Structure 1
Amino acid sequence: MKRRVKGIGMISGGLDSLLAVAVLAKQGIDLLGVHFLNGFTPENLRMRVNDLASMEDISEKRSSTLSGFTGIPVRAIDVSADFLSVMKDPPHGFGKNVNPCIDCRIFLLRKAAEIMRSEGYDFIFTGEVLGQRPMSQHLIAMRSVEKDSGLAGRLLRPLCAKLLKPTEIEENGLVDREMLLDIQGRSRKRQMNLAEELGVRGYGAPAGGCALTDINYARKYSDHVEHSGGRDLTVRDTVLFSTGRHLRLSDRVKIVVGRNQEENEYFEAKWADHYLAMTPDVPGPTVVILGDPVQDDFPVIAAVAARYSDGKKEKTVKVDIERGEEKMEFEAPPASEEDLALWRI
């Protein structure tokens, strides 16, 4: 009996990856999807904050959702801690902000390749389209990614394969090249028509984008790196960058001011090992105090908490600053807008 060909797909949940699945499924190939969680999608960050969800919770939800979309088993795998090593010094550099797109792609493909080799799959496939993304989907970048991921000859891009050199998978007859496609460019017209033809329904955005491409997130990330004193970035830090108003008071001290109840509750649940400032007598933010504050910093922080509370028009607001059993109380005049403008990151 002829052995069934087996392929692993990089599944984002967007239209292109679903079409790649549909194109290969027509050839009777056994397919497994993998969806890697690098920790930087806005959807995942929102769930970490608003729902206090763990990465295990998010992985389970994404696996169920994507398996339903694609019609194949999809494993959602948390690689957020490992991915931080890529952020330190990506060989291919960053994009416009702090997005190491090419090195991210290489990292994720290497993770998929580990599964391919350990479980006896024949190849990896993606939903990439030549020319669709300026940094990571031009020909030179695609060749570099294939080589540097260790997948030369075994990385298949079904939607644009006919525009590329045949892979070993095609040359060996494991995949019929004539049934693959030649889509290129930023237009989505062919994909939409193909989705209609193949009956692909219910697709969403491809995991909601990446926070590393957002200028506001990038500023907070860059400020942390500049003032971290060599301390390694943590997954908890990367979630914090997606929250609150960030103010740099000095080289030693940064504070993050909650903007809503969900952020306040997140700070109180996940950052209670730091000093937290709150306004007990009026509705107001929870403020996380980061760095190495000294006694003179606390009245300034209390003034910021007062300024963002419902008592901002009062002469003074009561502010409590606590960490564990330690507690300080202040009657703080709200900070001025001029001061806030100097401190905002």
Structure 2
Amino acid sequence: MPGFTVHIRDEWLAVPCRDTSNTIRWLGLEALKRYMKNKPDNGGIADVNATRFVARRCQGLSLLDAEDTIEDVLEDHDFVELVVYGITTGFGKFARTVIPVSKLKELQENLVRSHSAGVGNPLSPERTRMLLALRINVLAKGYSGISPETLHAMIQAFNEKGTVGASGDLAPLSHLALGLMGEGKMWSPKSGWADAKYGLALINGTQMITSLGAEAVERAQAIARQADIIAALTLEVLKGTTNAFDSDIHLLRPHPGQIMVAQRFRSLLDSDHHPSQIAESHRFCDRVQDAYTMRCCPQVHGITNDTITFVQNIINTEINSATDNPVSLSGIEMNNLSSLHSKL
């Protein structure tokens, strides 16, 4: 009869298997049952069927799909480990410390409380709502392992008018989660959540820096448009020429921002569709060219617009990304990575 050795927390358990067509999930549950049987308090596990775990090979640490059959992925006497970072373990250097199931809710609550250490002025309601909206968008992708009930509660909180205060990423998201736990100040009367992992899912992301970055991009775009209008108005008052903004000239050096600014100048200044009375007054003057600061506006303003567009693309990608650690790719399978990093 094939047998397998399963490592749970600090113990090794032998699990015989009469039918190798059973799944890896079955092997994990059998190991948990044996583990609970040897513990006076069931090892802190209240319900074996409600326990979330990930199976991986002890040698090489490759993850096993819970729905794969044993005969397809394991050989006799293979060593398997059940563990999930941040769910049944501590965090950071305590990743090797396994937490009893009875303490998992406390683990998540303490995680949020310990990071709720933001200082400085409170964020505005608009910025806070952006922060909450972006976190909802990440969790709704389904890779963070959060329950639909918790996600729905966050959506309901977003529909209320409220704010919390902080600065940073882990800290502000922890203040956000603290409100959902019922310990922070929120306008919404409904707060709180249950089950393990959700504390980590609520605070492990880049939504603070992303929300502020999105706001900065929007403001930068508005300022860039205003700069073009002011420059065009200045050129008009100085009775300048539009020759430097000819479309054929800028196609010779086709930077997108430069072409866009030149087109914007042409639309704002004298044209066949919108003739300028000031331009008409000096149509036959002997000036060869305008000041350097005027005729080079497409080049100077253009690279600014290109930079804003570059940042906007990064922000758009970040807004629509799943940023968590670990992430769930196929229900029970959890993968550790570094998508939470916010160096944009």
TM-score normalised per structure 2: 0.26
Higher strand share: 1
More helix by share: 2
TM-score by structure 1 length?
0.26
If you compute each CA radius of gyration, which structure gives the higher value, 1 or 2? 2
